[in-house]
Amino acid sequence: MDKAKEYTKPPIWVGALIGAVFTPALMAIMYLGEAFASLPFAPFDLFNWIARVMPGQLITFGIDRMIDILLLLGQGANLDQTAKTAEEMMGLAVFWGMGIVAGAVFFFVMNRWVNISNVNLAGIALGLAFGLPLQLVISTVNVSSSASEIVQIVWTVLLFLGWGMVIAWAYTMLAMFSNATEENPEISAQGIDRRQFLVRVGGASATLTVIGAGLGAVLRNGPGQGVPAAIALDATQATTDGAGNPLPNVDALVQAVPGTRQEYTPIPDFYRIDILSGGLPSIPEDYTLPVTGLIANEVDWTLDEIKELPATEAFLTMSCISNRIAGSLISTTKWTGVSFQEILEIVQPDENAVAIKIVGYDDFDEYVSLDMIREDDRIMLAYYFNDEPLPLRNGFPLRIHIPDRYGMKQPKWIRSMEFVSEHEPGYWVRRGWSRDAIVNAVSVIDTVSTQSAYQQDGSWVIPVGGMAWAGDRGISKVEISIDGGEWVEADLRDPLSQRSWTIWRYEWPFEEGPHTFAVRAYEADGTLQPTATRGTRPDGATGIHEVDEIVMEPTPAEPADA
């Protein structure tokens, strides 16, 4: 009788059980690795990744239900902490579930298609099939590890190979430990059957899990340990750009307070200002951009030809000069286009050319000086917002972006570009608005977030949040003053870029009653923003933003039926 026929195939549910038994031990070892050597902790990475690719409402719904459960268990003292715990528990649950499914699938595949003599190979395949995609996810998201990528990969692959082999081993043992012991006298001599085997490996795995998790927790809390990457995600905020890539600051530790504006403006919400207001210009299907005037090489580019030129992209905040303090005529997205320096290189301006006259399909016109272009390679002829062609309302097919200038200097719907010998005043300059339209530093309070209140050492804390922006000059500090008191520093979130706004938050020690909240910001070089209140015309608004609010005692979140 050949060996393959001696064993009894263990049922699939036993495979699920084996997955359920061994996956926690795997998690515990990963946890230990994270605490000990900052190796990746796959369950949190995985959950973070899922949270990015799944619809936001689904994730929030899941987190809310989990928070409900934690509150029921009396774990709801600090809402922020509770939300974080909820996310982490979901991460663990999802990972465990995948381990269970993997165990069941493995047993199914073994029973049906694979000869038991190949069980170790199958175990290796299982480990790789689970581990490699996970390592990919870990590399994309990487919220949990500061180890080098190669170390991460080796660690993950070894761990999952080990896990796959252990499951393969368990399969072999179960196949041999028939419950009908007289069928297999050799085994029955050891006096062990499937049930006993399951109990033993379950006990061993549980012990390993408890030791690993306990040791990991101790290590994590030790002095000098870095902040473990918690997945504190505000599900209303975008985490990826239009191409599906994580936003540049996705790992920033400081999170926007709920109620803060969208850091990455959804394209339909991007503000719109132009002399057409209502209608939209019609752009010919066979659009080309004529570049003419005082240049050696006149061109008439199709959009495709422009997209073939070296591309550049940047996360940019743009504002209208008519935006009031805390107004909504300001937005942020990722811009893609061609540096105007590339264009100069190709068309070769004459010596007497000083500016480009840009005209839009609505006859709006502005002039851009060649000196400025030569000094600043960031000036961009843009064709994408958020990795998609510009929406018609925001300037399809082409618009210019000039760092540190208000929108009025930056034509949309570009119809033509002409190199000229005189820098004349553009559309809005002729109507009395600023000649240079340089952005003023501003800061804004978006929310005093009573719905995000939490308790710390028995007192309520209410997060206050908003943004600060200083064109291309960056923000180094934001300060808050309550009821005219001293200015205290807020926490700054890493911005999307030096040229985007900076989201900030301040943990306000709650005091009941009416309060005035004020904010001010400093540019990267330490310059305080203009604090004098000034209207929009002609040079853009300045001044301190203040918010008056009557803040009542927050009520602790409680389960509805408690």
Which residue, 494, 87, 499, is CA-closest to 255? Answer: 494
Return the beta strands (E) in 286-361 as ranges: 288-293, 299-302, 311-319, 330-339, 355-360
Which range touches ligand MTE (CB under 6 A), out of 25-33, 161-169, 248-256, 404-412? Answer: 404-412
Task: Give how far the C-alpha of residue 516 lies from the chain's centroid of Cα atoms, to the nearest Å.
Answer: 32
Tell me the torsion sign for CA atoms 126, 132, 137, 142.
positive
> Is residue 408 a contact residue for ligand MTE (CB under 6 A)?
yes
Give me the least distance between CB of 361 and ligand MTE, in Å please: 7
Identify what 362 binds: ligand MTE, Mo ion, none; CB under 5 to 8 Å per kind: ligand MTE
Which residue, 230, 23, 239, is CA-closest to 134? Answer: 23
Which residue, 16, 78, 91, is CA-closest to 46? Answer: 91
Give me the least distance between CB of 346 and ligand MTE, in Å please: 24
Which range touches Mo ion (CB under 5 A), out of 169-177, 313-321, 385-393, 450-458? Answer: 313-321
Judged by CB under 5 A, the residue of 143, 408, 417, 470 near Mo ion is: 408
> Is residue 273 a contact residue for ligand MTE (CB under 6 A)?
yes
Judged by CB under 6 A, the residue of 6, 88, 193, 362 near ligand MTE is: 362
Identify what 411 binds: ligand MTE, Mo ion, none; CB under 5 to 8 Å per kind: ligand MTE
> Is residue 272 a contact residue for ligand MTE (CB under 6 A)?
yes
Query: What's the Cα-to-Cα distance from 308 to each of 303, 304, 380, 471, rounded to whole Å?
Result: 9, 6, 15, 29
Locus of tokens 């006259």: 357
- Strands 491-492 and 454-456, bridge-based pairing: unpaired
Which residue's CB comes closest to ligand MTE? 407
Question: Which amino acid is present at 137?
Answer: V
Locus of tokens 């990826």: 240
Give me the least distance between CB of 380 and ligand MTE, in Å please: 14
Query: What's the Cα-to-Cα distance from 397 to each of 75, 136, 231, 282, 317, rounded to whole Å?
Result: 54, 36, 39, 11, 20
Judged by CB under 6 A, the residue of 43, 360, 426, 540 near ligand MTE is: 360
> Is residue 546 a contact residue for ligand MTE (CB under 6 A)?
no
> Is residue 494 a contact residue for ligand MTE (CB under 6 A)?
no
Judged by CB under 6 A, the residue of 210, 275, 488, 552 near ligand MTE is: 275
Judged by CB under 6 A, the residue of 412, 493, 520, 545 near ligand MTE is: 412
> Is residue 407 a contact residue for Mo ion (CB under 5 A)?
yes
> Is residue 320 a contact residue for Mo ion (CB under 5 A)?
yes
Identify what 395 binds: ligand MTE, Mo ion, none; CB under 5 to 8 Å per kind: ligand MTE
Give me the least distance between CB of 145 and ligand MTE, in Å please: 40
Nearer to ligand MTE, 241 or 365 (CB): 365
- If phi > 0 it is left, if psi is from -120 to 50 it is alpha, else beta; for residue 293 that is left
Nearer to Mo ion, 320 or 462 (CB): 320
Q: CB–CB of 439/507 below 8 Å?
A: no
> Is residue 167 a contact residue for Mo ion (CB under 5 A)?
no
> Is residue 397 a contact residue for ligand MTE (CB under 6 A)?
no
Q: Could you check whether the bond before residue 397 is cis, i.e. omega within 30 degrees of 0?
A: yes
Tokens of 57: 């409402």
- Strands 355-360 and 475-482, bridge-based pairing: unpaired
> Is residue 381 a contact residue for ligand MTE (CB under 6 A)?
no
Tokens of 511: 């005091």
Hey, is 469 helix, strand or coil? strand
Question: Which amino acid is present at 468?
Answer: A
Return d(Cα 254, Cα 260) in angstroms, integer. 13
Which range touches Mo ion (CB under 5 A), out of 58-66, 245-253, 314-322, 518-526? Answer: 314-322
Which run of H or of E encompasses 273? none
> Is residue 389 a contact residue for ligand MTE (CB under 6 A)?
no
Identify what 275 binds: Mo ion, ligand MTE, none; CB under 5 to 8 Å per kind: ligand MTE
Nearer to Mo ion, 104 or 408 (CB): 408
Q: Cβ contacts of residue 349 below 8 Å, gap of 6+?
A: 294, 295, 296, 370, 419
Which range touches ligand MTE (CB under 6 A), out of 162-170, 184-192, 208-216, 273-281? Answer: 273-281
Hey, is 500 helix, strand or coil? coil
> Is residue 413 a contact residue for ligand MTE (CB under 6 A)?
yes
Which residues would be at the binding site for ligand MTE (CB under 6 A)? 270-275, 320, 360, 362, 364, 394-395, 407-408, 410-413
Which residues would be at the binding site for Mo ion (CB under 5 A)? 273, 320, 407-408
